[in-house]
């Protein structure tokens, strides 16, 4: 092989590598778009509170759970799966580090019996309680739970545990439907403390989805019954 030929070949090979890199980047961009990552809801910091463990930022989050996908982030048409149960307004959450977070969840959905009654217990909240329509409680019987809000896991050792899990009691079937198409919700409030920053995920542990075990469909799809929780600064 002569020198100019060889040079041309090397150039051609290099060009192919560049084209390949562009294809990888292009396809990953396309897949991100297809994945439709939900927007992030940031908890509003509202001042500082003194606690036994030192000063903590106060922050609050308000979420809702619906028997369908018509009222949350998927738009009034409900997106690809209007019939799927969903959390709203979104499922990617952000809360400040070293904060006392107050969460309010309005549940508009009826109950589905838990697979594991363990998740009917309130865990990891301040005082070990949640307030259901203003009444403090430590647990809900498995048959009355509609969904749960369960934060867990740590991809990295050393990241503080945040084993928060609260059951959301279902709306009784007899509740009349209001003007918005939903019955009056069960309002659940609870507080938890965050430590240093870290990445968590949260999910529902009630088999409210589709297919085997009730964990298919919305239960296995971010943007419906599950999402991420980032504890951060700023």
Closest CA to 194 of 132, 77, 113, 103: 103
Among 22, 89, 118, 177, indicate the residue that binds other proteins (CB under 8 A). 118
| CA distances from residue 214 to 136, 163, 219, 224, 228 in whole angstroms, order as listed | 29, 23, 8, 14, 21
119-155 as b/e, with b when 16 or more CB fall inside 10 Å? bbebbbbeeebbebeeeeeebbebebbbbbbbbbeee
> Which of 17, 49, 143, 196 is in the footprint of other proteins by CB under 8 A?
17
In angstroms, give the least distance from the CB of 206 to Cu ion.
Answer: 5
Residue nearest to Cu ion (CB): 204
CA 215 to chain centroid, in Å, comes to: 15
- What's the chain's length in residues? 234
Asked if 206 is part of the footprint of Cu ion (rule: CB under 5 A), the reply reads yes
Which does residue 32 bind out of Cu ion, other proteins, none, counting CB within 5 to 8 angstroms by kind? other proteins
Give residues 137-166 in contact with other proteins (rule: CB under 8 A). 138-139, 150, 152-158, 161, 163, 165
Q: How far is the CB of 157 from Cu ion (least distance, A)?
A: 19
Q: Which of 128, 172, 178, 181 binds other proteins (CB under 8 A)?
A: 128
Q: By the criterion CB under 5 A, which residues form the site for Cu ion?
A: 147, 204, 206, 208, 225
């Amino acid at each position: 092989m002569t020198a100019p030929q060889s040079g041309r070949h090397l150039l051609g090979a290099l060009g192919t590598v560049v084209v390949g890199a562009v294809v990888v980047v292009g396809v990953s961009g396309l897949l991100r778009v297809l994945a439709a990552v939900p927007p992030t809801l940031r908890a509003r910091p509202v001042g500082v509170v003194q606690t036994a463990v030192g000063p903590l930022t106060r922050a609050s989050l308000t979420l809702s759970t619906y028997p369908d996908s018509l009222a949350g982030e998927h738009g009034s048409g409900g997106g690809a799966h209007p019939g799927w149960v969903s959390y709203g307004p979104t499922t990617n959450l952000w809360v400040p580090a070293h904060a006392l977070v107050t969460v309010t969840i309005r549940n508009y959905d009826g109950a589905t019996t838990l697979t594991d009654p363990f998740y009917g217990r309130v865990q990891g909240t301040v005082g070990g309680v949640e307030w259901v329509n203003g009444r403090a409680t430590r647990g809900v019987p498995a048959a009355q739970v509609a969904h749960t809000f369960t934060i867990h896991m740590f991809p990295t050792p050393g990241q503080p545990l945040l084993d928060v899990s609260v059951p959301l009691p279902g709306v009784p079937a007899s509740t009349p439907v209001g003007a918005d198409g939903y019955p009056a919700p069960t309002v659940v409030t609870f507080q938890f403390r965050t430590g240093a920053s870290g990445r968590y995920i949260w999910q529902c542990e009630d088999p409210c989805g589709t297919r085997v075990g009730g964990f298919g469909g919305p239960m296995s799809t971010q943007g419906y019954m599950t999402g991420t929780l980032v504890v951060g600064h700023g």
